[in-house]
Amino acid sequence: MRRAVIIVIALLAATANASPTDELDAARRSFRTHDYDSAMKTLKDLLYPREQLALTSDLIEARQMLGACDFEAGRTDEAKIEFEKALQIDPTLHLDTNFYSAGAQHLFDETRSDLEQRRAKEAEIRKLQEERERLKRIAENLVVV
């Protein structure tokens, strides 16, 4: 009897602790059926407080789906944050037109554009700082005769 109870408990624990891949599959199913709240909860559990997905492609997909869930729930600021995190991993990403809404795709593209503009500004600032440092070194080494 005691052995049977232990086996039942072990089986329940094993089924309750699905792998991160299984959880991502569940989030995909929820997302496809437009159950954004369930998908969002599962995806947040996979990504926060620490990322539980080992494959980069799974991590990107989870961030894209979570961003789309946030968008569909009217939380565009949170959606942009998730889209940006996905784009930081792979700046060439696009959302699948068969899987994501036109609105989510538009916000994703807008986020990519904002990120590209910010990176260009940061590169320009870095370039100006390097030039300033170069001129400063020249001035320090200048000898007036």
pLDDT digits (tens, 9 = 90+) for 86-129: 999 999 999 999 999 999 999 999 999 999 999 999 999 999 99
Long-range contacts of 75-80 (CB under 8 A, 24+ apart): 76/107, 79/104, 79/107, 80/107, 80/110, 80/111, 80/114
What is the rounded average pLDDT for all residues in the chain?
Answer: 90
Above 60 in pLDDT, residue 5?
Answer: no
Above 50 in pLDDT, residue 10?
Answer: no
Above 80 in pLDDT, residue 13?
Answer: no
Mean pLDDT of 40-58: 96
Q: Give the model's pLDDT for residue 144.
A: 77
Question: CA 1, CA 114: separation in Å to the nearest integer?
Answer: 63
Mean pLDDT of 37-42: 97
Q: What is the pTM of this model?
A: 0.77
Q: Give the model's pLDDT for residue 90.
A: 95
Separation of CA 87 from chain center: 7
Above 80 in pLDDT, residue 59?
Answer: yes
Q: Give the model's pLDDT for residue 142.
A: 83
